[in-house]
Amino acid sequence: MKYTILFLRSLSLLTYLMLMLALSSCRENMDSEIINTATSPKTRATSSNEIGAGGICGTPAPEPPSWFFTRSTSGLNYSTAYVFKIYTHIIRSSSGVGLDKSEISSTILETLNSYYGETNLSFTLMGSEYIDSDEFNLLSEANAKLVFSLNSHSNAIDIYIFSSGENLGNLAGLAQTIPATACLIRNGTYANRSTLIHEVGHCLGLYHTHHGTSANEGGIAELVDGSNSAIAGDYITDTPADPGRWSWMENYSGVGVDANGDTYQPDPWNIMSYSGYARNKLTQKQVERIFSTITNNSSLRNAAWSVGTGRISGSSYIDNSSVYSIEVPDGYSVDWKIRCDTYTNRTGTLTSSYMYFTGKEITLTNKNPQAVSQCYTFDVTVTTPKGYVFHTSKTVRHVLFSANTGLLEWRSESGKGNYSGQIKLSLPPSSSPIKVYQGGNLYFYYEDASGGYSVTEPSIYNFEITGSTAFTKMPGGNHAFSCLQNATANNSELLLHVFINGRRTIMSIPYQILR
């Protein structure tokens, strides 16, 4: 008995050593597969294990559209948010055995809004249905995309969830393409984890972080130094190069280099990776790519509606001081950068100064209220607790009637002819009269060096005529007048009242009424 026990112990130790040797050899072979000795950035690393969260993603990766490579403005506008409608399709057995649509739809909605929170994207349930079919509930991985033909919508993102999924092999999820408005999820378990977020990320225009760099995907390999990141990998410049090499224990193996000999350092937390971690991260540029995709893809725009949020409240004209605020959730930080341009003439001569504030509400004080032409440009940065950065802007002016910085013009129109001209602002006014035909229309325009314009800012600028009964103001027009059909054809003068934010300037203007 004693020898038997010793023999078994020896056998166990031998078995263990043989197993470790086999694993070591296997690991060594796998490591050697992705050691990149090529000099071309198109050389891709071989991924030994691309399993993320227990299964693979089968989303096809088409060539990106051309607008991916055009320069876009940095940052996001906090004033625009999108609400996506989703429709859930619960695939059950022919006898109706499977997931509960109310429960799974609620889980999906909660998961989407939780993961995409603070990105100015949210999701709402448009509807749900059961698809009771053994044929579809037991689809194979090769035929899984057939579900996209079932009751799809042109105004929502369709999400198909299998109750069984037992024949899907290693497939955890699949988006129809990139971008898309349909995806499928293996079962209810995957609908409550990062797999759902991953597939919706594809729908919104995101590629795998290992796209191009892993041998199993097309595209161009991304270099670790990021020098080609805009045209290679996932086409996102702030996601590190990822060869897609993750071990069964969800750790990056740390072996393998790019074409420059640099070691990869991928981010295991990014939701578009295959790390298998509890992925929960989107980068700033990924969020920007999502918004660009929505802008450039009509199908996604049809599946969502935009809403105004976080606009800057406050007057668009300032005299001495004014209060401005922006509504953001608690925990968001708000930083204000305000540039004040002061103009002294119409040729563009100006001086600039800057002011900085923090918080949801500020009081802006005009340090030079006697200046005749000022333009305040607001750049407000909103940073969410997750670190996403948004911008919103506003233009505020301070304008006084001035011959140095202002331009006053007129125009008359009628079936008999049109006239136009400029009114000299320095006194006395120009001796050239305004000409208008009986029954014609007369318009005045004031433009300031700061960019203020009476046509586009009617709440700030207004005109009145007194001293003549030949003209009546058009309804709803701050600068438009009608000449009476029976007005006396003669030369005379009128008093033109120019209002800028309630401040009045009166000018005596000669005019001529023509038959």
Q: Assess whether pLDDT exceeds 60 at residue 282.
A: yes
The enclosing domain of 317 has a CATH number of 2.60.40
Q: Is residue 424 part of a domain?
A: yes
- Tell me, yes or no, whether 139 and 238 share the same domain: yes
Q: Is 336 found in the same domain as 444?
A: no
31 lies in some domain? no
C-alpha to C-alpha distance for 310 and 337, rounded to whole angstroms: 16
Whether residues 185 and 331 share a domain: the answer is no
Q: What is the pLDDT of residues 397-414, one digit of tens each?
A: 999 999 999 999 999 999
- Assess whether 219 and 317 both reside in one domain: no
Alpha carbon distances (Å) from 254 to 5, 370, 372: 41, 65, 64
Residues 109 and 227 reside in one and the same domain: yes
Reported in sequence order, the residue ranges of 99-256 that DSSP labels E, i.e. its strands, are 121-132, 157-162, 171-175, 182-185
44 within domain boundaries:
no
Domain boundary among 348, 381, 399: 399
Q: Are 169 and 138 found together in one domain? A: yes
Strand runs (DSSP E) across 52-151, as ranges? 56-57, 76-77, 80-92, 121-132
Residues 243 and 288 both lie in one domain: yes
CATH number at residue 186: 3.40.390.10
Q: Are residues 155 and 236 in the same domain?
A: yes
367, 399, 431 — which closes off a domain?
399
Q: What's the pLDDT at 427?
A: 58
Domain around 236: 56-302
Specify the pLDDT at position 428. Answer: 58
In percent, how much of the chain has pLDDT > 90?
Answer: 74
pTM of the model: 0.80
What is d(CA 232, CA 377) in angstroms, rounded to the nearest whole number?
Answer: 37
Q: Within a domain: residue 113?
A: yes
Number of domains within the chain: 3
Asked if the structure places residue 268 within a domain, the reply is yes
Q: Are residues 372 and 434 in the same domain?
A: no
Q: Which of 10-14, 49-53, 68-72, 142-146 has maximum average pLDDT?
A: 142-146
Is residue 127 in a domain?
A: yes
Cβ neighbours of 347 (radius 10 Å): 10
Whether 120 and 231 share a structural domain: yes
pLDDT score for 47:
40
- The stretch 143-169 carries a mean pLDDT of 96
Assigned domain for 38 exists:
no
Residues 284 and 260 in one domain: yes
The answer as to whether 26 is a domain residue is: no
Amino acid symbol at 232: A
Q: Is the pLDDT of residue 241 over 60?
A: yes
pLDDT at 466: 96
Give the residue from 342, 367, 399 where a domain finishes.
399
Where is mean pLDDT largest: 250-264, 296-310, 419-433? 296-310
321, 278: one domain: no
